[in-house]
Amino acid sequence: MPILLMLGVTGCSSPTTADAAQTPGSTPVVKVNDKAAALVPAAVKSKGTLVFAMDASYAPFEFFDTDNTTITGFDANFSDAVAAAMGLKSQKVNTNFAAILPGLQAGKYDIGNSNFTITPEREQTVDFVPFMKSGSGLGVKKGNPEHLSMDFASLCGHHVAAQTGTVQALTDLPELTAKCVSAGKPAIDVQLFATQNDANLALSSGRVDALMADSVGVAYQGEQSNGAFELVSGPLYKPSKLGIALPKGSPLIPAVTEAVNGLIKDGTYATIAKTWKLPVETLMTPGS
């Protein structure tokens, strides 16, 4: 997803087409990873709960179920599994994506898990535990009538949406826009939205020509849009790793790292990914 992994009151929003059409996946039963549990700081072990922040507008990673209260999706299930492997419970909190990293720095959350692309800029303020590979994809109207692609020249002069705070908004689209200007072409009209749902709506309603987001999210949300938009085929833009974010130097890093690696090795991670139909090409394998 978005540049940023994610207390307060759990927020609510109106369910989108993607939300309403999706049946939430249940988290597999997870055995406590003794090594991970032994690494949990005493203060956290005493509290018994890990607080995960996420922006519940990004299916299939995190979004509200049809009750408009329960957060479901791959990241939601994986967060539950990570906490369980550490012998802890999880509390998932919805918050605006752009507020997650600052919230981690301020100590409001223990962990951010909201489809974060790992970037050098983000690594200056938070630490990451990698768990997936992905890249930016382009969502376009069904049939791609504007013949758009990740070739910057095709995007010059077009209206392209992205979610505020994401790597697409902060890095990818500015880079592509700069290429347009350097080539003497019109700049991309980048339009930013507070949530991915808002960006999706802007595309499906015709207010923008395309949207840029994590490729898996675009593909999944396009499938759930009743034909309103789709992922452009072809190479992804700047493939990179995704990760769970923690405050810089958090004492939880060793325990979370052990828990994540254990879930990858024992197959729990792959089982959750299969539930949400994530492409096998995006998944990390033991030792990767």
Please report the pLDDT score of residue 3 as a whole number.
35
Q: Each residue of 238-277: pLDDT tens digit?
A: 888 999 999 999 999 999 999 999 999 999 999 999 999 8
Cβ atoms of residues 225 and 197 within 8 Å: no
Please report the pLDDT score of residue 233 as a whole number.
85
Please report the pLDDT score of residue 288 as a whole number.
66
Consecutive 10-residue averages of pLDDT for the chain (288 residues): 34 33 68 98 97 94 92 96 98 96 97 94 96 92 95 96 95 96 98 95 96 91 90 86 96 98 96 89 80
Beta strand pairing call for 189-193 and 159-163: parallel
Please report the pLDDT score of residue 62 as a whole number.
94
Please report the pLDDT score of residue 230 as a whole number.
93
Please report the pLDDT score of residue 11 as a whole number.
32
Token readout for 251 is 């004492």
Beta strand pairing call for 126-141 and 237-247: antiparallel
Please report the pLDDT score of residue 10 as a whole number.
31
Please report the pLDDT score of residue 26 as a whole number.
76
Please report the pLDDT score of residue 24 as a whole number.
47
Please report the pLDDT score of residue 145 as a whole number.
95
Please report the pLDDT score of residue 224 as a whole number.
86
